[in-house]
């Protein structure tokens, strides 16, 4: 049996990864220059896949990386130990060598614990007591610098970085890593744009203007065409170009949804995609998201609902249109407040081109149902 050539869920690599060629080149050169970057994009936009692909390619230049997801960390102790563990593991050395190395570089007298799981994989942690915790934190934050100084280039990725402010580590982290300047490259990632923006664009916050803002874009139709058509062909099925256009019109090139659509379409197709199969797939994908969208809709104010409809009606441009505001019975001031609220909730965003929905399927659902 031939298996489905598409995939959606966690990070993708190799044959499941489509395009982003120029973005990968740019990120690699930023890393080589030791720049710190901020990468934000909506949920499921392909941030992790993209960054890991660029970093895997850098391994050939003997540049290592560590990846720490801050989403599930709730205390500073957890941060110290999870971070210490990924740093220790990145050494890829036998445990006793790792322990000795840290004994030589850490200023605190570290009590390093090593635990082995059922598969024999070690995990490292520090025995922390309250007196030396601040010191331990500083020490661990400086480990990447020690790596760099001993000749090992390293990139540190903090995913869901906005969470650092909940841990109350924002100022501390910044005060330490500013001295790592071009020796260690940091990548700050996340999907909560409004929170990240506040962290990096507010003059009173520690990370103000300390990074390059790296924007990843949706993947264009041409790239999807090649990707999807060739995967159908390799698995002895056929899809015409016009269907790719229809998929991308619906998903706006959003990676997760585009792969999901292609996956389901492939599953429903015996030999060749036709209109009936296409419509059935579209309906199924929308139905699957419906509950989530209904909750999202319930969670916004009446004025925010009106604002979303105006965005759809005006295609995101020249929104302050008297006729529209009158039609939806909303005053300019309230409309402005509603837009701000929607941006804060990461439901919409604004570019030089106008306003748009962060989630293309939610837009489709609102325009069809409400
Ligand atoms: N370059 C790509 N080519 C093809 N598909 C992709 C690509 N990037 C992402 N995808 C699709 O999107 C899905 C989610 O990707 P990924 O986990 O990298 O996104 P993310 O932005 O890190 O998500 P999250 O917000 O959950 O952290 C993948 O399973 C895959 O289906
Ligand atoms: Mg991710």
Q: What is the DSSP string of 215-268?
A: EPPPPPHHHHHHHHHHHHHHTT-B--HHHHHHHHHHHTT-HHHHHHHHHHHHHH
Alpha helices in 111-234 (DSSP H): 133-141, 143-149, 170-177, 193-201, 221-234
Share of the chain above pLDDT 70, in %: 99
For residue 18, the SS3 value is coil
CATH of domain 300-369: 1.10.10
Share of the chain above pLDDT 90, in %: 84
How does pLDDT run across 232-283, given as a tens digit for each residue? 999 999 999 999 999 999 999 999 999 999 999 999 999 999 999 999 999 9
Residue 194 — pLDDT band, cuts 50, 70, 90?
Answer: confident
Choose one of 19, 21, 44, 221 to mutate for the ligand 1 pocket test, by most ligand atoms within 8 angstroms of C-beta.
Answer: 44
Segment among 72-86, 129-143, 198-212, 294-308 with least mean pLDDT: 129-143
> Is the pLDDT at 331 greater than 80, yes or no?
yes
Compute the distance from residue 9 Cα to the ligand 1 centre, in Å: 7
Choose one of 12, 24, 47 to mutate for the ligand 1 pocket test, by most ligand atoms within 8 angstroms of C-beta.
Answer: 12
Neighbours of ion ligand 2 (CB under 5 A): 47-48
How does pLDDT run across 4-24, given as a tens digit for each residue? 999 999 999 999 999 999 999
Q: Which atom of ligand 1 is nearest to the CA of 53?
A: 1
Q: Which two tokens stand for residue 142?
A: 């400086």
Which residue is associated with the tokens 């031939």? 2
Please give the mean pLDDT across all residues of the chain: 93
3-state SS record for 313-344: HCCCCCCCCHHHHHHCCCCHHHHHHHHHHHHH
For residue 210, the SS3 value is coil
Give residue 211's pLDDT. Answer: 93
Residue 370 — pLDDT band, cuts 50, 70, 90?
Answer: low
> Is the pLDDT at 193 greater than 90, yes or no?
no
Residue 30: which of 150, 188, 170 has the closest Cα?
Answer: 188
Instruction: Confirm if 47 and 12 have CB atoms less than 8 A apart.
Output: no
How does pLDDT run across 99-125, given as a tens digit for each residue? 998 988 888 777 888 999 999 999 999
Compute the distance from residue 191 Cα to the ligand 2 centre, in Å: 8
**Torsions phi, psi for 127 (to 5 deg):** -80, 110
Residue 304 — pLDDT band, cuts 50, 70, 90?
Answer: very high
Q: Domain ranges in the chain?
A: 20-215, 221-295, 300-369
Segment 307-324 shows an average pLDDT of: 95
Does domain 20-215 bear CATH number 3.90.1170.50?
A: no
């Amino acid at each position: 049996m031939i298996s489905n050539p598409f995939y959606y869920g966690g990070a993708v690599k190799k044959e499941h990864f489509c395009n982003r060629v120029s973005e990968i080149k740019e990120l690699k050169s930023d890393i080589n220059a030791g720049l710190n970057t901020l990468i934000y994009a909506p949920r499921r936009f392909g941030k992790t896949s993209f960054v890991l692909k660029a970093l895997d390619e850098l391994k050939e230049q003997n540049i290592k990386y560590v990846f720490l997801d801050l989403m599930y960390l709730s205390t500073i102790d957890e941060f110290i130990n999870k971070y210490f563990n990924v740093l220790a593991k990145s050494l890829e050395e036998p445990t006793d060598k790792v322990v000795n190395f840290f004994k030589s570089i850490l200023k605190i007298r570290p009590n390093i614990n090593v635990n082995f799981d059922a598969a024999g994989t070690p995990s490292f942690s520090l025995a922390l007591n309250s007196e030396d915790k601040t010191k331990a934190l500083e020490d661990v934050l400086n480990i990447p610098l020690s790596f760099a100084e001993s000749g090992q280039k390293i990139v540190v990725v903090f995913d869901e970085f906005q969470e650092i402010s909940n841990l109350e580590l924002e100022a501390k982290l910044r005060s330490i890593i500013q001295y790592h300047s071009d020796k260690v490259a940091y990548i700050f990632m996340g999907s909560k744009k409004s929170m990240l923006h506040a962290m990096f664009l507010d003059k009173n916050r520690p990370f103000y203007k300390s990074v390059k803002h790296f924007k990843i874009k949706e993947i264009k139709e041409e790239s999807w065409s090649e990707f999807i058509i060739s995967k159908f062909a390799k698995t002895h099925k056929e899809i015409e170009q016009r269907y790719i256009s229809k998929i991308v019109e619906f998903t706006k090139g959003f990676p997760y949804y585009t792969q999901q659509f292609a996956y389901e379409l492939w599953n429903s197709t015996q030999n060749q995609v036709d209109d009936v199969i296409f419509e059935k797939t579209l309906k199924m994908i929308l139905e699957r998201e419906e509950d989530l969208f209904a909750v999202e809709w319930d969670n916004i104010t009446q004025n925010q609902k009106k604002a979303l409809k105006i965005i759809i009606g005006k295609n995101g441009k020249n929104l302050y249109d008297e006729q529209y505001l009158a039609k939806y019975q909303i005053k300019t001031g309230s409309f402005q407040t509603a837009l701000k609220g929607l941006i804060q909730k990461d439901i919409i965003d604004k570019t030089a081109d106008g306003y748009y929905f962060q989630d293309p399927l939610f837009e489709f659902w609102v325009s069809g149902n409400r």
